[in-house]
Every structure is written in C-alpha cells, then in structure tokens.
Structure 1
Amino acid sequence: MKNKFLIGLLAGIATLGVTTMVTLNKVPVGYVGMVYSANGVENKPLQQGWHLVAPWKKVTDYNISLEQAFLSADGREGSRENESFNIPSKDGKMVNVDFEFSYKFNEEQIVDIYKTFRGKSVETIKDTFMRAKIKAWASEVSSKYTVIDIYGDGRIKLNQDVFNHLKEKFEVYGIEIESANFSRIKVDSETEKAIQENINAKQALVKTKLRIENEKIETEIAKKKAEREKVEIDLNNYKVISIAEAEAQANNLRNKTITPEMIELEKIRKWDGKLPTYQGNGSSIVNFK
C-alpha cells in the first residue's frame, strides 16, 4: 500500500513537472505575447519574461520595439535571396530598387492587431502583408516622379514622401513605420546613359552660367575701378584748378587794392633815413660831401 502511494506521488510530481515544462512560455525582450484559446483572445497581453500558460492556450509574440527589414537583391538579413522590386516613374520607365525599413507594432493596439491578422505571426505579417503593401504604396508615390528625379536630385524628396505615405497607411493597422528609404536604385543602361548625358548637360550649363557671372563680376569690378580712378583724377584736377584760381583771385585783389599812395608809403617804410650821396636836380649834381 505504501509502495503504491509513493509510486502515485512520484508519478504525480513527474506529471506536474512535465506539464509545467510544456506550458512554460517565454516572451522575448521587446515583445508582448497575445494569448488565444477556444474561448477567444485574452485582452491583456503577456509582458516580456517567463509565464505559465495552460497547454490548450496559444501565445503569439509581437515586437513593440524596432525591427529592421530589407527588400533587396543581395539577400541581406530580413530579406530572401532576391526581393528587389520595380517601381514605375511618371514618364513610364520602370526602376529596380532595394528597400529598407524599420517598424514596430503599437502596444496599445495589440489586441486589435491580433484580431485583424487572425493571430498570424510577425514573420507572416511582414512577409505577406507588409512587403506586398510596401511595393504597392511605394509605387503610388514613385509614379509622381520622373525617372531622372528618382535616380538623381529628387531621390531625397522621394524617400521622404514614401516614408510619409507608408507611415500614414500602416498606422491604420497598428503598425508604426519609423524609417523607410530606397537603398539602391537601378535603371537600364539606355536610361542610365540618358540620365548621365542630362547630368553632364546640367553641369556644363552651370559652368557656363558661373563663367558668365564671373565675367560680369570682373567687368563690374573693372568699371568701378575706372570710375574710382576718374574721380581721383577729377579731384586732383579740381585741386590744381582751385589753387590756381585762388592765387589768381588773390593777385587780382592785390592789384586792385594797391594805390600810388600805398606804394610811396611802402618806400618810406623801407627808407633807412639817409639821404643819397648824390642828388640830381636838373642837369647839375650837388655833392653833399
């Protein structure tokens, strides 16, 4: 009897241990776990860490921290062997691109997300729904740009517009896009040649405009220099003329103001008080010595 009790106890402990191991679930860091059973979805998700979950319940993890993903030709992490895709341009050209993006699920909408995607895993949502929508929605934006803009100067604005469009579209599904851009853009050789010729023509035009502007500047500088030199010459001439006119006016004034009386007075001022040794009076000379 005692042996049967011990055997039953050990069997119960073993069963409990096995059951505990089977129903012990770990939610990774940066994720929450949605619990589903035949009774439906539990409204409170599991936070990161270990949890005991009944064997008849299923847990699906959703990342609430950023995840990076790629749609590329070289099979980088998060991308299959070749997931590059084509986007249309405004002028009818198709452009092959690689795309990278980062995303997370809105924690406050996890229950709705689970219901919307019917409990599908993150990988399934990303590989089917998200990748397909990215291709379609990115094309909606690229179709407003010419191939030259996509390949050249308009690329920065294109990336920004695609990011804004994806962010707005995915928010409806509780998916938050944090970054999105074309990491590689490839056109056919003929288009690439035409684009390069267009770029060369633009660069030549810019150089021509710069040369013309430089010539205009140099001409303006020379003109200003000539004007400055003329002003200096005119100023010097004015000074010479002014000095000469001033001297002439002074001489004229002196000539007008000098009278015979003034001349005699000046002679008297200069006389030293001595009579001359000889003084003539008519034809005779009187010697005072």
Structure 2
Amino acid sequence: MRINSKLILGTGVLVLILLFFFSTVRIVTPGTVQVVTRLGKVTGRVFYPGPNILIPFVENTLTYNTRKVIYEVTSAEKQQASKADYKDYPVDTNTKDGQQVDIYYTVRFSADPVKVTWIAQNIGDEKALVEKIVKTDSRIWARNVPREFEAEHLYTGNVQEVQQKIEEKLEPIFSENGILLDEVGIRELKFNPQYVQAIEAKQIEAVKIQTEKNIAEQAKYQKEARITQAEGQAKEQELQKQTITENLLQKMWIEKWDGKLPSVMGQGTTLMDISQFVPKQ
C-alpha cells in the first residue's frame, strides 16, 4: 500500500499551522491577568481575560490572580482538607507574660492589576509574590503583635484587636508591593494545655466568687426591705395612735355589737355609756 506523499505533506503543514496558531494565541481566563515577557525580559504588555496574540517561541507570560487568593496557616493534618491556594504551618510565639501560643490565621488578598508589571519586574511570578511578601511579612507580624498582649486577654477570645493590628501592619507593605489586602483572620489560638487548665480553674473560681457576691447582695437587699417594711408599720401604728380617740373606739365597738347585753356581770361592772350615740326622741 503506497502512502500519498502529498497527503503526508499536507497533514504536516496543517499540524504546523495549528501549532503556530495555538502558540500565537494566548487565552486568558477570567479573574487573571498575564504579563508578557520576551526572552525573559518584562515587556510591559499585559494580557487581560480573552484571546491575546503573542510572538511564538519568543514571548511568554506570567499569570497573576486578580480574584481573591487565600494564604492559610493550619496544622499538617488539616492541610489536606483545606481549599486554600497556599498553605503553611502555624506560627509559634509568646505572649507579653511569656506564655507560648500557636497562631492559626488566614490572609485573603489579590494582585493589583495596575501593578502586575512592577510585580513581574521586581518580585517575580505569583508564587514568588506569596513567598517573599505574603508569607514572610504576615508571619513576622503574626509573631510580633501577640507579644504586646497578656495571655489571658488572648485566651478569653479578645483577638479582634490583635487581628486589626496585624492588618494595619500588613496593608502598607502589601500596597507597596502591588497586593490588595482583603482581610486577615485569626482562626485559632492554641495555648499550652497546662496553661489552659490553670485559666479554666481561675475562671471557675471567679464565677464562684461572683455568685457569692450576688448572694450577699441579695441578702443585703432583703434585709433592707424588711427594715423598710418594719419602719412603715411602725409609722402606721404611730399614726393610728394619734388618730384613734376613746369616742372612736366606742363607736367601733357599737358598730360590731350584736345588741345583746352580757348575761353575767361581775360586781362593780359598769356597762359602756352609749347614750351619746343613741338618737334622741
């Protein structure tokens, strides 16, 4: 079976044309930009999402995410399940009072599309950007900022101030290096188990003391209420003494009298004189 040489030649030419076409056209995906390099030198051209033309075999590109990228610090066993773009190990540091603590945090950022050419020229590709800036500086400040705080302040969950201070330190550094910082989040602070037990015991004792104070305050309030009530009753009795006369007592006796005279009277017993209360004829 003879092979048609023209067919082979035509097929070869078609393959070359296709290779040339695909090496010339660079499709940039949404959420990314590409900086064009020529023979390793940054040209200053930037490819945006969609088809772009470059010189084959001479030009190449460096890709940067303009979408949110996540750098996450977590334990080795959790790294496999993590969906972060870049993963690293926890930062170990000490608090102001010398307690050891491991910091687990996340940095969310993106490359500034306006500064990607500068990034390519001065730092490198995205991996270099993460390694030299995001990782290095975030770990420095995640280690230094907690040293300004007492361990108990951090353990009780008041990490918002620490988180904010880390962001304040990183934002100008990131901006200077072409990175848009979105957020720094401290996910977990892990203290020495012995310290955790000591803090929990202290908190339990504090709750007991507060409970005893509440009971004492309640007893004091009840005592004051009884005194106030007794004083009120005394004043009421005093007022009654001042307003109740002998005539009033006799009138109250008559109002409750059933009209029957006593059947037995002792010698010298005198009945109450009610003539003044009986209507005259």
Normalising by structure 1, what TM-score?
A: 0.69
> What is the CA–CA distance in structure 2 between the aligned matches of 1:84 and 1:68, rounded to whole Å?
15
**Structure-to-structure mapping, 1:260-275, within 5 angstroms:** none
**Structure-to-structure mapping, 1:126-165, within 5 angstroms:** 126-165=130-169
> What is the CA–CA distance in structure 2 between the aligned matches of 1:160 and 1:27, rounded to whole Å?
35
Decide whether the 8 Å contact of 1:72 with 1:79 is kept in 2. no
Tell me which residue corresponds to 1:260: none
> What is the CA–CA distance in structure 2 between the aligned matches of 1:234 and 1:28, rounded to whole Å?
95
Decide whether the 8 Å contact of 2:70 with 2:109 is kept in 1. yes
Q: Which moved more, 1:76-85 or 1:151-160?
A: 76-85
The root-mean-square deviation of aligned C-alpha atoms, in Å, is 3.4
**Counterpart among 94, 111, 115 of residue 121 in structure 2:** 115
Identity %: 16
Following superposition, the deviation at residue 33 of structure 1 comes to: 1.4
Q: Aligned with 2:96: secondary structure?
A: coil
1:203 aligns with 2:207: yes
Structure-2 change in CA distance of 1:235 and 1:59 (3 Å) = farther
> What is the CA–CA distance in structure 2 between the aligned matches of 1:169 and 1:205, rounded to whole Å?
47
> What is the CA–CA distance in structure 2 between the aligned matches of 1:216 and 1:222, rounded to whole Å?
10
Decide whether the 8 Å contact of 1:34 with 1:61 is kept in 2. yes
Q: Which has the larger radius of gyration?
A: 1
**Residue identity opposite 2:28 in structure 1:** V
Q: Which moved more, 1:39-48 or 1:194-203?
A: 39-48
Identify unmatched segments of 5+ residues in structure 2. 249-279
Tell me which residue corresponds to 2:253: none
**Residue identity opposite 1:175 in structure 2:** I
After superposition, what is the alpha-carbon deviation per residue over 1:219-251, rounded to whole angstroms, capped at 9, x for unaligned?
44444444544555455555547x97xxxxxxx
Decide whether the 8 Å contact of 1:70 with 1:77 is kept in 2. no
Structure-2 change in CA distance of 1:221 and 1:57 (3 Å) = farther
Following superposition, the deviation at residue 19 of structure 1 comes to: 0.9
> What is the CA–CA distance in structure 2 between the aligned matches of 1:72 and 1:39, rounded to whole Å?
36
**Residue identity opposite 1:63 in structure 2:** N
Following superposition, the deviation at residue 184 of structure 1 comes to: 2.1
Tell me which residue corresponds to 1:175: 179
**Structure-to-structure mapping, 1:2-151, within 5 angstroms:** 13-38=14-39, 40-55=41-56, 56-73=58-75, 74-75=78-79, 76-78=82-84, 83-117=89-123, 119-120=124-125, 122-151=126-155
**Residue identity opposite 2:24 in structure 1:** T
The size of the alignment, in residue pairs, is 241
Identify unmatched segments of 5+ residues in structure 1. 245-269, 271-289
Following superposition, the deviation at residue 16 of structure 1 comes to: 2.8
> What is the CA–CA distance in structure 2 between the aligned matches of 1:72 and 1:220, rounded to whole Å?
57
> What is the CA–CA distance in structure 2 between the aligned matches of 1:8 and 1:93, rounded to whole Å?
76
Following superposition, the deviation at residue 116 of structure 1 comes to: 2.6
Normalising by structure 2, what TM-score?
A: 0.71
Following superposition, the deviation at residue 196 of structure 1 comes to: 1.8
After superposition, what is the alpha-carbon deviation per residue over 1:44-103, rounded to whole angstroms, capped at 9, x for unaligned?
522122322222222112122212231100212337886122022112222122222211
> What is the CA–CA distance in structure 2 between the aligned matches of 1:116 and 1:212, rounded to whole Å?
69
> What is the CA–CA distance in structure 2 between the aligned matches of 1:229 and 1:53, rounded to whole Å?
101
Structure-2 change in CA distance of 1:225 and 1:57 (3 Å) = farther
**Residue identity opposite 2:68 in structure 1:** L
Q: Aligned with 1:108: secondary structure?
A: coil
Decide whether the 8 Å contact of 1:65 with 1:104 is kept in 2. yes
> What is the CA–CA distance in structure 2 between the aligned matches of 1:156 and 1:213, rounded to whole Å?
34
